[in-house]
C-alpha cells in the first residue's frame, strides 16, 4: 500500500468510468439529473456545491442548483423538495447542510424521495443500510471504502476504530465496515481510555472536527489512518490527524485531497446509479 492515499487520483478513476456510463444512458435517451438545494450563505457549503457542479459537468450529467435565502421557511423548502420529487427527469436530490436553525433537518431529509436520496440520509435508506440491504449510501463513508479498495486494502478481520458517532460519518461508516467483515469499535467524547482502543487498531477513521487531534503515540506503525476532518486554522486547512501521526502510520489520507474528492465522486456515482435503475 502506498503511504499517501490520494483521493483525487481515485476520484479520477471513478469519473472516467462514470463518464462512460453517462454516455451509455444518453445513447438510450436518458441524461441523469442532480438537483442540489442550498439555503443560506454558509461559505463552506457554497464551496462544496460549486465542486459538485464541476463534477457533474465533468461526467456529463445535468446539474441544477437552487439557491435559497436564509429566511426561507421550512414550508417553502419542503415545497421545493416535493416539486423535484414529482419530476421524472430528476434522478437525485440533495439538500446541502447545515440548514438555518429555524428549519428542522430531520423533517427535510425525510421529505426527499428515498429513490432520489443520493446522500443516503432518508430514514428508509438508513434502515436498509443497517439491515444490510442498502439502495443508497452516505457518500463520505462510501467514498472511504472505495478509496481503500482502490489501494487494495483488505478489511477482513481487521480491528477498526471509528472516532465520532455522527449520522453523516461515524455510524454509517461502522455499518459499511461491518459489511466488509472488519471488527469495528466506535469511540466518542464519552469513551474512557480512548488510547487503549487506538493503539490496537489496524485502521482508524477520525471524524470529530478537532485539528491535529490524533497523536503518534496513540497508534502503531502498521496503522492506516483516514482523516475526515476539515478544520480551518491559522496555519491553514488541517485535518483531525497530526502530521506526526501521519509520518508514523503505514498510510494515510491527506487533507485536502483525501476523503473530500471521493465524497463528491460517490455523489455522482449514486446519481448515475439511480438513473440506471429507471432504465432497468
Averaged in consecutive runs of 10 residues, what is the pLDDT profile of the chain (280 residues)? 96 98 97 97 87 96 96 98 98 95 96 97 95 92 98 98 96 97 97 97 97 97 96 89 98 97 98 88
> CB-based burial of residue 120 (10 Å sphere; 0-12 exposed, 13-18 middle, 19+ buried)?
buried
In angstroms, rounded to a whole number, what is the distance separating the alpha carbons of residues 192 and 188?
A: 9
So what's the pLDDT on residue 280?
59
Q: Is 164 annotated as a binding residue?
A: yes
Residue located via cell numbers 463520505? 140
Residues designated as active site: 52, 96, 119
So what's the pLDDT on residue 42?
83
Which cell numbers hold the place of 9? Answer: 487520483
- Please, what sign has the CA dihedral across residues 76, 56, 42, 238? positive
pTM: 0.96
Q: Is 115 annotated as a binding residue?
A: no
Q: Is 58 annotated as a binding residue?
A: no
| Domains annotated on the chain, with CATH | 29-113 (3.40.50.10860), 139-260 (3.40.50.720)
Amino acid at each position: 500500500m502506498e503511504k499517501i492515499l490520494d483521493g483525487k487520483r481515485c476520484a479520477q478513476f471513478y469519473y472516467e468510468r462514470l463518464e462512460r456510463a453517462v454516455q451509455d444512458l444518453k445513447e438510450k435517451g436518458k441524461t441523469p439529473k442532480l438537483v442540489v438545494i442550498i439555503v443560506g450563505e454558509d461559505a463552506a457549503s457554497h464551496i462544496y456545491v460549486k465542486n459538485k457542479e464541476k463534477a457533474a459537468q465533468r461526467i456529463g450529467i445535468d446539474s441544477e442548483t437552487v439557491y435559497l435565502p436564509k429566511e426561507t421557511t421550512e414550508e417553502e423548502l419542503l415545497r421545493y423538495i416535493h416539486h423535484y420529487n414529482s419530476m421524472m427527469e430528476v434522478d437525485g436530490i440533495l439538500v446541502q447542510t447545515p440548514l438555518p436553525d429555524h428549519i428542522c433537518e430531520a423533517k427535510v431529509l425525510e421529505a426527499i424521495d428515498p429513490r432520489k436520496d443520493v446522500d443516503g440520509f432518508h430514514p428508509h435508506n438508513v434502515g436498509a443500510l443497517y439491515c444490510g440491504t442498502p439502495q443508497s449510501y452516505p457518500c463520505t463513508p462510501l467514498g472511504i471504502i472505495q478509496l481503500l479498495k482502490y489501494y487494495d486494502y483488505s478489511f477482513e478481520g481487521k480491528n477498526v476504530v471509528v472516532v465520532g458517532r455522527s449520522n453523516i460519518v461515524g455510524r454509517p461508516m461502522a455499518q459499511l465496515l461491518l459489511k466488509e467483515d472488519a471488527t469495528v469499535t466506535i469511540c466518542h467524547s464519552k469513551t474512557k481510555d480512548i488510547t487503549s482502543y487506538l493503539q490496537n487498531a489496524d485502521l482508524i477513521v477520525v471524524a470529530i472536527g478537532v485539528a491535529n487531534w490524533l497523536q503518534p503515540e496513540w497508534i502503531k506503525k502498521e496503522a492506516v489512518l483516514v482523516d475526515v476532518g476539515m478544520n480551518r486554522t491559522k496555519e491553514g486547512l488541517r485535518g483531525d490527524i497530526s502530521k506526526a501521526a501521519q509520518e508514523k502510520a503505514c498510510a494515510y489520507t491527506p487533507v485536502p485531497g483525501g476523503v473530500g474528492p471521493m465524497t463528491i465522486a460517490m455523489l455522482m456515482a449514486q446519481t448515475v446509479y439511480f438513473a440506471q435503475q429507471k432504465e432497468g
